[in-house]
Structures are given as structure tokens and as C-alpha cells.
């Protein structure tokens, strides 16, 4: 059965104008030209030093791009994009009041008139992303979606990533189709490429099984008497944690809970 849940903490930023693709292409981690009706792109905006600032899904209409992003980050994201607009022929507008953001999984959802939809580009199992101008009939709550996301090991923006600290490859953007290695330069590309080709990743964001009380976000993860990482988002007995790769074989304690890393099938660790 197809499950459909509204994501109340998501909003929509519209990028219109004839230079919209070229404008975003030089700023974000993925190939914006691949966004088209029915095909979304997952991408991130980085600092010039290659650290995460925001990520979003890019969905396309005929004459504009729609960024499905964290509602709390829209003002920051719009201001950053305006800063780099210069003479580009683009218009940047918060249109969150005109769209509801939904996730669907378990099959292809019914797509009604005016709904902009595309498969989640990260994993087939993740389902679909939908932007709807009217309220859709939900049959699942946000927590059900969150458990599904956590079981797949998918990051959820600032709940899991640290502003101006997280590297994309620590958070699975390579395996989850969030980076293009062929599209050309973008802001923060140099560090992203260097971490890939030199194998500099020492920690990863990983799904964990939680035995005991769910630790709050940012709780240190301990192993062998040393800090081995931090807890990120979680719900019930599932979570994501940023962990050192050299600590995965030892018992990991977090608050009053024991964490057991769960390696998702899509994950590739350097040998």
C-alpha cells in the first residue's frame, strides 16, 4: 500500500528566469541540467571551503525550478543565492505558502492535477517527493515517514548534518546521487573532490539500532573510553550517528543506550 505523509518542516524556494539552470549549476554539488519534469535532483550548497550549508531536492516546471528544502533554512538559502546572483537573469522567491511538501513510499502515488512529483533520486526505496498546491489526503504521519527514512540511512538536513562542518562524502552524498563528478566547477568542489580521490573520510553518518533510551541529538558516542562520534536524529529504536570508521567493531555507548551500527546496502566504505 502506498503511504503518503506531509512534511511540515519543508518549504519551497522557486528559481525562475532564463539563467536559472546556469546560475545554480555553478553553485551546487549536482548537475542541475538533469532536473526535468518527473526527474528530481538532490544537491547541496556548500561553503567555499567545501562544508555543508543546505541540501534540497530540485524539481522542474517548464519555466522554473522548485527547491524542496528545509523551511527553517529558506531565508538563509535565498539570501545566499541572492548574494551570488550578480547579473544573472533569475528571480528567487519563497513560495512555501503555495505548496505542501509530501513524501510517498511503498509504490507510485496517484498524482493529481497541479501536483509536481518525481521519484526520490537518492534510493528507489525512498519513494517519491511531491509538491502539491492543495492539501492531499494523507494516510501516514510524519513519524512513520521518519522511521522509514531512518531505516534506509537517509540524512535529513540539519537534523543530521552540521552547518559549516559536515563533508558531503561523510553523509553519503556520493552513493546517494547527491554529487556530480562530471558537471564542472561549483562552490566547494575542490575539497569534495580531494576527499574522494585521496580517501580522506575518517567518519561517516550511519544508521544505528538503539538499545535503551533514545539519546538526544548531539549526545557524545563513547567507545573504549574515548569519544567516537555524536548522535544525530532518531526515533524509537532507530537513529543516525556520526561515527569514526575505526570504532565500528567495538561497543558504542551513548547516554544510557548502546548503539549498534547498521550498514545499509548502498553504503561503500573504503577498504
pTM over 0.85: yes
Q: Are residues 175 and 115 in the same domain?
A: no
Domain shared by 131 and 51, yes or no: yes
Same domain assignment for residues 32 and 132: yes
List the CATH number of the domain containing 163.
Answer: 2.40.30.160
Give SS3 for 182.
coil
- Same-domain status, 164 and 129: no
| HSE-CB for 147 with a 13 A CA cutoff | 9
Q: How many domains does one find in the chain?
A: 2
Residue by residue, DSSP assigns 30-49 as S-GGG-BTTB-EEEEEE-TT
- The confidence score (pLDDT) of residue 270 equals 64
For residues 8 and 117, state if they share a domain. yes
Cell of 32: 542541475
64-70 and 52-60 beta bridge pairing: antiparallel
Could you identify the residue written with the cell 567493531? 249
Domain assignment of residue 241, given as a range: 159-261
Whether 135 and 13 share a structural domain? yes
pLDDT digits (tens, 9 = 90+) for 80-93: 999 999 999 999 99
- Three-class DSSP category at 55: strand
The per-residue pLDDT for 170 is: 96
| pLDDT beneath 70: ranges in the chain | 270-271
Any domain includes 148: no
What is the widest separation between alpha-carbon atoms in the chain? 57
Distance CA 130, CA 167 (A): 28
Distance CA 52, CA 24 (A): 16
Are both 75 and 164 inside the same structural domain? no
* 174 and 118 assigned to the same domain: no
Predicted confidence at residue 110, as pLDDT, reads 94
The secondary structure element, H or E, covering residue 28 is none
Q: Would 149 be classed as within a structural domain?
A: no
Amino acid at each position: 500500500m502506498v503511504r503518503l505523509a506531509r512534511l511540515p518542516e519543508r518549504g519551497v524556494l522557486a528559481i525562475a528566469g532564463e539563467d536559472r539552470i546556469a546560475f545554480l549549476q555553478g553553485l551546487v554539488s549536482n548537475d542541475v541540467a538533469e532536473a526535468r519534469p518527473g526527474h528530481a535532483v538532490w544537491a547541496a550548497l556548500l561553503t567555499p571551503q567545501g562544508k555543508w550549508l543546505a541540501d534540497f531536492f530540485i524539481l522542474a516546471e517548464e519555466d522554473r525550478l522548485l527547491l524542496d528544502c528545509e523551511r527553517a533554512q529558506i531565508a538563509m538559502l535565498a539570501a545566499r543565492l541572492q548574494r551570488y546572483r550578480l547579473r544573472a537573469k533569475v528571480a528567487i522567491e519563497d513560495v512555501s505558502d503555495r505548496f505542501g511538501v509530501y513524501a510517498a513510499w511503498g509504490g507510485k502515488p496517484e498524482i493529481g492535477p497541479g501536483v509536481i512529483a518525481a521519484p526520490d533520486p537518492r534510493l528507489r526505496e525512498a519513494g517519491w517527493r511531491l509538491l502539491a498546491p492543495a492539501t492531499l489526503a494523507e494516510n501516514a504521519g510524519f513519524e512513520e515517514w521518519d522511521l522509514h527514512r531512518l531505516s534506509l540511512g537517509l540524512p535529513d538536513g540539519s537534523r543530521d548534518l552540521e552547518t559549516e562542518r559536515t563533508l558531503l562524502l561523510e553523509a553519503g552524498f556520493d552513493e546517494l546521487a547527491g554529487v556530480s563528478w562530471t558537471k564542472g566547477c561549483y562552490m566547494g568542489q575542490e575539497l569534495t573532490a580531494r576527499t574522494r580521490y585521496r580517501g580522506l573520510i575518517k567518519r561517516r553518518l550511519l544508521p544505528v539500532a538503539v538499545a535503551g533510551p533514545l539519546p538526544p541529538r548531539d549526545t557524545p558516542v563513547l567507545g573504549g573510553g574515548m569519544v567516537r562520534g555524536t548522535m544525530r536524529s532518531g526515533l524509537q529504536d532507530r537513529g543516525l550517528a556520526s561515527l569514526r570508521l575505526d570504532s565500528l567493531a567495538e561497543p558504542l555507548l551513548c547516554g544510557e543506550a548502546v548503539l549498534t551500527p547498521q550498514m545499509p546496502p548502498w553504503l561503500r566504505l573504503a577498504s
